[in-house]
Amino acid sequence: MKNIFLKWVLIISFFTTGIFLSCQKEDFNPPVAKLSKGISTVEAKSVAVNFFSGKVEVGMLRAKPVTEKQVKEVLIVPDDLNQPALYIVNFSPTGFVIVSASQKEMPILGFSEETNFSIENAPLGLREWIELRKDKISMLKGDNIIIPVEVKSEWMKYIKPQDPDYDPELDPENQDYITSRTIEKGPLMKTTWGQGSGYNTFLTPINGLLPPTGCVATATAQVMKYHQFPVTYAWNTMANSYGTSETAKLMKDVGISVGMSYALDGSGAQTSDARNALVSQFGYSSSATYQVYNVNTVVTEISANRPVIFDGYATKDVNGWWIFEQTSYRDGHAWVCEGYRIMECYKQISGTVTQQFVYLYMNWGWNGQYNGYFASNNFNITFTDGSTTNFKYKNRCITNIHP
């Protein structure tokens, strides 16, 4: 895996495929960001605390179960101009919330109830997600952006959740009051597997050291463990949170079946080969499909109790000029989507749904680190002249995985 330069403070990118996906953890020495107008560190902390404390109305997106947590630290992710784009609020003992630094974006962009966010170990897929968020928020700083009323409403609810002098339903200036409800499913899997010790036991050493299993193998193996198929494996001897001998055997078999290229700095394979291996080598249904990412398809899959294998690239390269311009992607990662929470915004009186915000539960394949919910489908921006843009990279996934 190549080194990736990201402009962050005390921190931290989501999706794509085609070439080898090879991943390892990396270290960072991010620059210091300067604070600017928008959401302050104090306000971001307040939003995150209200999210975890349950001080917001029941239908809103919030942590579950609701518990009292203490803020450990607030990390700042700057944009390309060194201004805050995102805040990551870490809680003690566990949990983090990713808060937008702009009120032109939804307040809550990602969260985990079970892990903290560490600078050094963020997986490539998550880094790509962060980069996309930064790109969108930078664009939103323009004055010609239409901000949905749902976004404004959500900020008010998180910033002033207990203001006794503000009742949006009775506010004469807010007759079109937007409220919300949450629909959820999963997480489906119980595994928090990784690529190293306990999982790579049976791999061939390189210069006396065992290489990582590879993210494609780990993602595929976790989905197979969920379905507990084929029956030739002793699934009940595979622990959920650490590698056993049978788990290592599965990892090696999957690696061979996808043509894994093993290396000490990251083992790589094509995600498309995982689909083919599941069908031809392990007897899964031929209806399994390697396709372009579509959030509605993913929600349908999760609703049918089928985890989805994702892949993506942390780095997008554009070379050449004009008609000779070529775009390529590198620094890939594969992981599993195994749940969702959907926040539906609707009009209080009519019940008309005005907007949906989908948060997908991602299992990154890093021993449970960073597993959590991340905003998935709000990359779109509408300008005052009616034009739109979208910040999604090239995204693909394997759907309809079942025996």
Inside any domain, residue 190: yes
248, 250, 253, 255: CA torsion to nearest 10: -70
Calpha distance 78→134 (Å, rounded): 8
Q: Are 285 and 402 in contact (CB under 8 A)?
A: yes
pLDDT of 65 reads 47
pLDDT value at 33 more than 50: no
Average pLDDT over residues 225-244: 99
Do 71 and 189 sit in the same domain of this protein?
no
Mean pLDDT confidence for 20-34: 45
Same domain membership, residue 238 and residue 94: no
> For this structure, is 333 an active site residue?
yes
Please check whether residue 61 lies inside any domain of the structure.
no
Determine phi and psi for 268, rounding to 5 degrees. Answer: -125, 150
Evaluate whether residue 25 is within a structural domain: no
Q: Do 184 and 318 belong together in one domain?
A: yes
| CB atoms near residue 357 (< 10 Å) | 22
Q: How many domains does the chain have?
A: 2
Beta strands 21-22 and 268-269: pairing type? antiparallel
Indicate whether 331 and 262 sit together in one domain.
yes
The domain boundary, picked from 138, 163, 188, lies at 163
pLDDT score at 343: 85
Query: Within a domain: residue 22?
Result: no
Domain boundary among 130, 163, 196: 163
Residue 302 lies in a domain: yes
Gap between the Cα atoms of 287 and 284, Å rounded: 8
Between 24 and 26, name the one with better pLDDT. 24
- Is 215 known to be catalytic? yes
Residue 310, pLDDT score: 94
From the list 215, 337, 345, 397, the catalytic residue is 215
pLDDT reported for residue 92: 92
Give residue-wise pLDDT tens across range 242-265: 999 999 999 999 999 999 999 999
Is it the case that residue 171 has pLDDT exceeding 50?
no
pLDDT for the residue 133: 87
Q: Are both 144 and 198 inside the same structural domain?
A: no
Residues 311 and 398 in one domain: yes
Q: What's residue 137's pLDDT?
A: 87
- In this prediction the pTM is 0.80
Average pLDDT, the chain: 80
pLDDT of residue 77: 92
- Whether 19 is covered by a domain: the verdict is no
349 belongs to a structural domain:
yes
Range of the domain at 262: 178-402
Q: Does residue 233 share a domain with residue 102?
A: no
Using the 3D structure, point to which of 135, 163, 191 is the last residue of a domain. Answer: 163
Confidence (pLDDT) at 149: 77
> For the stretch 266-293, what's the b/e string if a residue is b when 16 or more beta carbons lie within 10 angstroms of its beta carbon?
bbbbbbbbbbebbeeebebeeebebeeb
What average pLDDT does the segment 311-335 reach?
Answer: 64
Higher-confidence residue of 63 and 353: namely 353
**Domain identity same for 311 and 386:** yes
Residue 259's domain is classified under what CATH number?
A: 3.90.70.50
DSSP string over 15-48: ---SS-EE-------PPPPPP-SSS-HHHHHHHH
| Dist CA 228 CA 236 (whole Å) | 9
Name the residue with higher pLDDT: 352 or 56.
352
Question: Is there a domain that residue 136 lies in?
Answer: yes
| 23, 333, 345, 397: the active-site residue | 333
pLDDT digits (tens, 9 = 90+) for 254-301: 999 999 999 999 999 999 999 999 999 999 999 999 999 999 999 999
Write down the pLDDT at residue 299: 97
Task: Examine the domain organization and report whether 215 and 291 are in the same domain.
Answer: yes
Q: Are residues 200 and 285 in the same domain?
A: yes
Asked if residue 297 and residue 387 are part of one domain, the reply reads: yes
